[in-house]
């Protein structure tokens, strides 16, 4: 019995290991394509490879976020910033935000969240809907961070999902904080390229 169970465990472990090795590359490729699509959705049309030119920029909180530069020829036309916040109602929210070279929000996409369906999950469209004070697209954030009306700001929170709304805006503000720490028109410096000093 012991030898049989040991044999079954060894065979099962070998099969699982083999399946993992076979699926690892396709999973990584799918993630890369998803990221590339997300970048294309938030910045103007580009002809470089933002994922190969990615660099890190510090936020005001002391951590760093990935910045993907979008170029047309030799001209920088915008950046996509991958941002994250842990202040969501159900934990972590991950987004990507597109800025033009002046810091204006071009678009955003929610990459990952676990917010309540039908409430916090509305963030994917809520903050680009041109109604009342919901829309953040086209805003320049150089004066002050985005806040919901309840906190003295001028952005309408998702109905019955204020915590999710605050978290989403926190992720946007963090993205802008990283954007503002680098000179996007000249590209990344040697000290903030991924793999360099951080």
> Would you state the pLDDT for residue 185?
64
Of 119, 123, 103, whose CA–CA distance to 111 is shortest?
A: 123
pLDDT at position 154 over 80: yes
The alpha carbon dihedral of 87, 91, 92, 95 has a sign of: negative
Non-local (6+) Cβ contacts of 28 within 8 A are none
Please give the model's pTM, rounded to 2 decimal places: 0.80
Non-local (6+) Cβ contacts of 61 within 8 A are 174, 177
pLDDT average, residue stretch 185-195: 46
166: exposed, middle or buried (Cβ count in 10 Å: 0-12, 13-18, 19+):
buried
pLDDT at position 31 over 90: no
Question: Per residue in 35-67, pLDDT tens?
Answer: 889 999 999 999 999 999 999 999 988 899 999
> Would you state the pLDDT for residue 123?
95
> Would you state the pLDDT for residue 24?
66
């Amino acid at each position: 019995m012991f030898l049989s169970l040991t044999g079954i465990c060894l065979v099962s472990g070998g099969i699982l290991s083999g399946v993992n090795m076979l699926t690892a590359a396709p999973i990584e490729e799918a993630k890369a394509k998803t990221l590339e699509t997300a970048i294309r959705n938030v910045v103007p049309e580009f002809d470089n490879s933002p994922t190969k030119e990615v660099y890190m920029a510090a936020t005001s909180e002391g951590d760093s976020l990935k910045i993907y530069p979008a170029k047309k020829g030799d001209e920088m036309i915008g950046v996509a910033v991958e941002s994250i916040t842990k202040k969501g109602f159900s934990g972590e929210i991950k987004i990507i935000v597109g800025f033009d070279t002046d810091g204006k929000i071009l678009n955003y996409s929610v990459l990952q969240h676990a917010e309540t369906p039908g409430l916090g999950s509305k963030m994917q469209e809520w903050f680009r809907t041109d109604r009342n004070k919901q829309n953040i697209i086209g805003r320049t954030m150089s004066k002050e961070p985005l806040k919901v009306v309840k906190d003295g700001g001028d952005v309408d929170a998702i109905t019955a999902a204020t915590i999710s709304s605050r978290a989403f805006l926190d992720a946007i503000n963090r993205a802008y904080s990283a954007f503002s720490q680098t000179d996007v028109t000249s590209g990344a410096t040697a000290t903030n390229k991924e793999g360099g000093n951080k």
